[in-house]
Structure 1
Amino acid sequence: MKPLLLTALILSSSQLMANETADVEPEPALEERLQDELETFENPFVITPHKPNYILLANYNSNLPEGIYDKYGDLQDTEIKFQLSLKIPVWVSESKSVPSVLVAYSQVSHWQAYNSDESSPFRETNYEPEVIFAWRPDYDLGAGWNIQWAQLGFNHQSNGRGGELSRSWNRIVAGVALEKDNLALAFVPWYRIQEDRENDDNHDITDYLGHGKIQAAYKWGDHTFALMSRNNLESGFSEGAVEGSWSFPLTKRVKGYVQFFTGYGSNLIEYNHYNTTAGIGIALTDWL
Structure 2
Amino acid sequence: MTRRCQWIVVLLLLLLLIAAAAPAAEPEATAEEKPASRQWDGQQVSLDEGPLLTQSFLEDLSVYKPIYFLFGVDPGLEQSKFQLSFKYRLFNPEGWMAAKAAWLSGFHLGYTQRSIWDLKSTSKPFDDTSYMPELFYLLPKIELNNARISAFGIQGGFQHESNGKGGEDSRSTNYLYIMPIMGIHLAGNYHLKIAPKIYTYIDNDDETNEDLNDYRGYVDLEVAIADPEGVALKSHLWCADEGSSVQLDLTYPMTRLFKKNLNFYLHAQYFSGYGETLLHYDRRQDVFRLGFSIVR
Provide the residue aligned with 1:22 in structure 2: none
Provide the residue aligned with 1:279 in structure 2: 289
Which whole-Å CA distance do the structure 2 matches of 1:92 and 1:217 have between them? 31
8 Å CA contact 1:154–1:173 kept in 2: the answer is yes
2:237 pairs with 1:223? no
More strand by share: 1
Which whole-Å CA distance do the structure 2 matches of 1:273 and 1:173 have between them? 25
The structure with the largest alpha-carbon Rg is: 2
Deviation at 1:44, TM superposition (A): 1.9
Provide the residue aligned with 2:114 in structure 1: 108
Deviation at 1:58, TM superposition (A): 2.9
Which whole-Å CA distance do the structure 1 matches of 2:161 and 2:193 have between them? 25
Which whole-Å CA distance do the structure 2 matches of 1:196 and 1:109 have between them? 20
Unaligned runs of 5+ in 2: 1-55, 186-190
2:63 pairs with 1:54? no
Provide the residue aligned with 1:213 in structure 2: 220
CA 1:59–1:138: 2 relative to 1, 3 Å: farther
Matches within 5 A, 1:157-168: 157-168=161-172
Amino acid across the alignment from 1:274: R
TM-score by length of 1: 0.70
SS at match of 1:207: helix
The structure showing larger relative contact order (alpha-carbon pairs under 8 Å, at least 6 residues apart) is: 1
Which whole-Å CA distance do the structure 1 matches of 2:105 and 2:60 have between them? 21
Deviation at 1:154, TM superposition (A): 0.7
Which whole-Å CA distance do the structure 2 matches of 1:110 and 1:175 have between them? 26
Amino acid across the alignment from 1:113: L
How big is the alpha-carbon RMSD for the aligned residues of Structure 1 and Structure 2? 2.4
Q: Which moved more, 1:135-144 or 1:260-269?
A: 135-144
Provide the residue aligned with 1:148 in structure 2: 152
Percent identity for Structure 1 against Structure 2: 26
Deviations 1:13-60 (A, max 9, x none): xxxxxxxxxxxxxxxxxxxxxxxxxxxxx9726741111000002343
8 Å CA contact 1:261–1:278 kept in 2: the answer is yes
Matches within 5 A, 1:52-201: 52-61=66-75, 78-91=78-91, 100-116=106-122, 119-140=123-144, 142=146, 144-145=148-149, 148-181=152-185, 182-195=191-204, 197=206, 200-201=207-208
CA 1:141–1:262: 2 relative to 1, 3 Å: farther
Deviation at 1:99, TM superposition (A): 6.0
Deviations 1:61-118 (A, max 9, x none): 4xxxxxxxxxxxxxx66442100111111125588866601111111111112311xx
Deviations 1:117-155 (A, max 9, x none): xx1111111110010111124232757236622111110
Which whole-Å CA distance do the structure 1 matches of 2:120 and 2:265 have between them? 23
2:251 pairs with 1:247? yes
CA 1:141–1:172: 2 relative to 1, 3 Å: farther
Amino acid across the alignment from 2:81: K
How many correspondences in the alignment?
A: 223
Which whole-Å CA distance do the structure 2 matches of 1:103 and 1:153 have between them? 10
SS at match of 2:203: coil
TM-score by length of 2: 0.69
Which whole-Å CA distance do the structure 2 matches of 1:92 and 1:209 have between them? 36
Which whole-Å CA distance do the structure 1 matches of 2:203 and 2:71 have between them? 37
Which whole-Å CA distance do the structure 2 matches of 1:268 and 1:141 have between them? 42
CA 1:148–1:43: 2 relative to 1, 3 Å: farther
Unaligned runs of 5+ in 1: 1-41, 62-75
Deviation at 1:265, TM superposition (A): 0.9
CA 1:45–1:150: 2 relative to 1, 3 Å: closer
Provide the residue aligned with 2:270 in structure 1: 260
8 Å CA contact 1:127–1:160 kept in 2: the answer is yes
